[in-house]
Structure 1
């Protein structure tokens, strides 16, 4: 059943401009970042998004063209890149969304500022210190880990009491919280590796970040919100989101995680084939058949990358079992990371930013540019696994990520730094 709190959480009410007695100030001020969790956390996430990829693009370029010297981190750069993206950059957006929606979903008061500011400071400071450590500051990796763990812990301790206090059971909130707990375990696993434990801990952290944290959060939010969004604007649309979809998804995702942890790549198809069928069914049932605004369409175009990613996983797994060759390399993973996670990030953040700033729910030119460009970046990165001079293609994809997101980040960053245009709080 669709709850009315979903409506409030996404700010889909039309703006009543007649209630505004005077135009709000449009002056940029960092002080307004603290007015709502999504303002602070999305601003941090957008900043982290560019910083993380700027370092990675520079590292790839220096690895491909040695004349472009760049200090090498103590940890393998690819692993460090995975940690930054999975546990610092994307969780900045996760916590911004969930710190806003948990009270709405469960019918409880919004969080006070002092509850969410530490989360933002931990994730922003943690990533900044980590990247400084990657380019030469000896203590940076350790400082970044401590700040990241503090930010994560602050977020978990803020969200958990909401679940204890609610009347009834909000399974979407519990699903997201469970994924965050697994994510924190991934942070601890990476910490163990940095402190001298076996590299297997780093491997476990990376895999937990994908199939224990990112994919479950994305799937849970999609399950709750995508059919609801479509039902609000598409005539005759029937929202379909039975809970058995999440019930089937979780064990399959965890089974994929376990198989990866034991390097059983030839058997991944056993769980990825059902995941392909499940995500394909969701896309087919959720896709709005009638006329739809662009800001709705991009959600489902982005989601189309999910069954495509699992199709690549299935093909690679079967080929590996038959030939012993890992033909597609990290191609399936980047179809998931850039294609699905990146596309839906643009779609969801744009929607929340537009609605919660009093603007019309529509794709801005910079959002369209980011969304279309990220499709090309995803294809480039997947193709890079099979292309001659793959490192050059990877560097091109990283630079493409920066070019795709930079104008969008500038626009949404300016929105977070200014009051709502309708004069309302938040």
Structure 2
């Protein structure tokens, strides 16, 4: 979680580690962009999210060919799930780890090197067809491997065992990407790798988002409104997260099964219902006055929606419902939650007030609307072309808006 909002119960940095962190930060005399992990990765992540969907719209309309020689849908899925998402995850975790362990994993030139590894993967995918497929796979998967090494070193050195599941999820994300490439190299559609990547990211949202959403809500309510506070993470939450992980795993492996299974559909529907109960305990209806808080609840709301739609699609063998569920997770939960976290962390760590100005609210609404339109396109195939176009425009507007509004904060020293 972002250091600006430490959750009660998180271990305080040990005194023997703080000087190392501060010395490394003070020793850096280069660009502010390389002074903390969230700065470069949030900037390139937001810009790339808009770029990928803009290119996808141009490909759909026939205005340009898909980069590389991959099928257009494979390129689109890979670069969002394994390009955009890992960049934001890296920015978040490289910033959160000091809060968890009292250590700073990477700043300055090593941070630039990590960014270069990410960029190499994007260039390799764009040059697919000109490079051997195995080389493209190696360059593309090098980033999650390198990120896992950095994070693992810090978590293990800080003895921060409670966050080992986060490290495990990063490793699994790299495995999902490797599976994606293996399916492509074998001449098949990379459905299993794509689904597994989405499932792992949604799991991270239920795990980490399930801690920061009630925590940030509690912090805001304590300052603004009297009354009961959101229920903190407890055994019920752990049960819901574990049940959700099972449902996501079953959803990810469904393409390998001979057909939809009733048990998987029921588990997904039950998981969605439990996620709704879990979120209701966080009192989202009380966060209306502050967009920086309610957007977290709105983004998390797409998690149970994805479970319910996917479960209904499996039970009814309805491809449209399944695709609606997939995009509730991909465009809604992942897209809006990453945007919410990027804006909040950027404001907090660059010395700006933790409140969302009207322009930021417009950015949130653009991506939320894009997610709803993308879900609608799956449910109403007859209107898919205009709905997809409008959804793409909304997505691009939202993430481009983030770059324009928050880019200057990310490249300048703390206010």
The alignment's TM-score, normalised by the length of structure 1, stands at 0.82
Distance change >3 Å, CA 404–CA 71, structure 1 → 2: closer
Q: Cα offset for 1:364?
A: 2.7
Corresponding residue for residue 251 of structure 2: 256
Residue of structure 2 equivalent to 1:400? 394
Contact 2:125 2:140 (8 Å CA) reproduced: no
Deviations 1:367-401 (A, max 9, x none): 21111112221222122222425234323322231
Is residue 275 from structure 1 mapped to residue 271 from structure 2 by the alignment? yes
Deviation at 1:147, TM superposition (A): 3.3
CA pair 166-263 structure 1, distance change in 2 beyond 3 A = farther
Quote how far apart the aligned CAs of 1:143 are: 6.3
Tell me what 1:308 maps to. Answer: 305
Q: Which moved more, 1:93-102 or 1:158-167?
A: 158-167
Tell me: CA distance 1:296–1:141, structure 2 relative to 1, closer, same or farther (3 Å). farther
SS at match of 1:414: helix
- For residues 135 and 48 of structure 2, the distance between their equivalents in structure 1, rounded to whole angstroms, comes to 16
**Kindly tell me: are residues 141 and 382 of structure 1, through their superposed partners in 2, closer, same or farther at Cα, counting changes over 3 Å?**
farther
* Cα distance between partner residues in 2 of 1:150 and 1:257: 23
Task: Choose the corresponding residue for 1:284, options 273, 280, 284.
Answer: 280
Aligned to 2:155: 163
Deviation at 1:187, TM superposition (A): 1.8
* Cα distance, 1:91 vs structure 2: 0.8
* 2:23 alignment counterpart: none
Q: Distance in 2 between matches of 1:246 and 1:300?
A: 17
Relative contact order (alpha carbons < 8 A, sep ≥ 6): 1 or 2 greater?
A: 1
User: What pairs with 1:99-178 in structure 2 (closer than 5 Å)?
Assistant: 99-131=94-126, 133=127, 138-139=130-131, 145-167=137-159, 169-170=161-162, 173-178=163-168
Name the CA distance, whole Å, in 1 between partners of 2:403 and 2:30: 16
* Distance in structure 1 (CA, Å) of the matches to 2:284 and 2:324: 29
Pick from 335, 343, 346 the counterpart of residue 342 of structure 1: 335
Q: 1:221 to 1:7 in 2, by over 3 A?
A: farther
Count of residues in Structure 1 that have an aligned counterpart in Structure 2: 384
- Cα deviation, residue 88, structure 1: 0.8
- Maintained 8 Å contact 1:273/1:310: yes
Cα separation, 1, equivalents of 2:91 and 2:212 = 16
SS in 1 for 2:31: helix
Choose 231-240 or 32-41, whichever is displaced more: 231-240
Q: Quote the Cα distance in structure 2 between the aligned partners of 1:289 and 1:393.
A: 29
Whole-angstrom distance in 2 between the partners of 1:352 and 1:415: 11
Q: Which residue of 1 aligns with 2:411?
A: 417
Give the conservation status (yes or no) of the 8 Å contact 2:141–2:177. yes
Q: Unaligned regions of 5+ residues in structure 1, if any?
A: 9-28, 63-67, 422-426
1:305 touches 1:339 (CA, 8 Å); kept in 2? yes
**Map of 1:43 onto structure 2:** 43
What secondary structure does 1:286 align onto?
coil
1:358 is paired with a residue whose SS is: coil
Shift of 1:336: 1.4
Q: Tell me the SS of whatever aligns to 1:328.
A: helix
Match of 1:356 in 2: 349
Structure 1 pair 72/117, CA: closer, same or farther in 2 (3 Å)? closer
